[in-house]
Chains A and B, each alone.
Chain A
Amino acid sequence: AQSVSQHNHHVILSEAASLELGCNYSYGGTVNLFWYVQYPGQHLQLLLKYFSGDPLVKGIKGFEAEFIKSKFSFNLRKPSVQWSDTAEYFCAVGSLGTYKYIFGTGTRLKVLA
């Protein structure tokens, strides 16, 4: 069965620190990859996505993610976090031919001002 692993459940950073959140998936075929963010009191919002092409994708608010096929990974990065980045981050995978997303368990990020 397909699965998505997010290794960090809770991350605490100071403002201006760099961020990297890990995401690994288990599926051997073609995948679409997503990072969603949920700010406190808000609904899931798309941060960035990878369908094909350049494996380094840029999203909103300075976030980027790199798809490394050989490692089945799609890690999220941001060079300098802000207090407003405090949120829960979810990695999701959609495999070609199916329509459902498989989500990781999420990473709660807290950025200290």
Chain B
Amino acid sequence: GAGVSQTPSNKVTEKGKYVELRCDPISGHTALYWYRQSLGQGPEFLIYFQGTGAADDSGLPNDRFFAVRPEGSVSTLKIQRTERGDSAVYLCASSTGGQETQYFGPGTRLLVL
């Protein structure tokens, strides 16, 4: 079946702008995760959704970052007032439940100029 999809695949924006990154999880997966991967690093956890609610947002770096999942399926990661340091690959993953194996999407490469 279809895997996790993410759009756009690449996003270039200017410092100070607002961006939205979208994630479509595997059909039927109730758990959804966002990670951020900077150059030369492994993915770092940002936020976890179980259903519509954010069960753990401890990884969000500051209040410029926000994520929603209003219907328990598609999720959007929103970044306000982007900074050059936000440049990274943003990964989405989904699973059948909180402790189950996470399956990753291709990521969105964000470049803030």
Contacts and interface: CB of A to CB of B under 8 A. Distances in A.
Interface of A: 4, 32, 34, 36, 42-46, 49, 90, 92, 94, 96, 98-106
Contact of A99 (B33, B43, B104, B107): B33
A8 to B, nearest CB: 14
Contact of A43 (B33, B48, B55, B106): B106
A106 B56 contact: no
Interface residues of B, number: 26
| A4, A98, A100: most-surrounded residue (chain B CB, <10 A) | A100
B99 A32 contact: yes
Interface of B: 3, 31, 33, 35, 40-45, 48, 50, 55-56, 58-59, 91, 98-99, 101-107
Contact of A34 (B48, B91, B101, B105): B101
A20 to B, nearest CB: 19
B105 A103 contact: no
Given A43-B107, A49-B101, A99 B44 contact: no
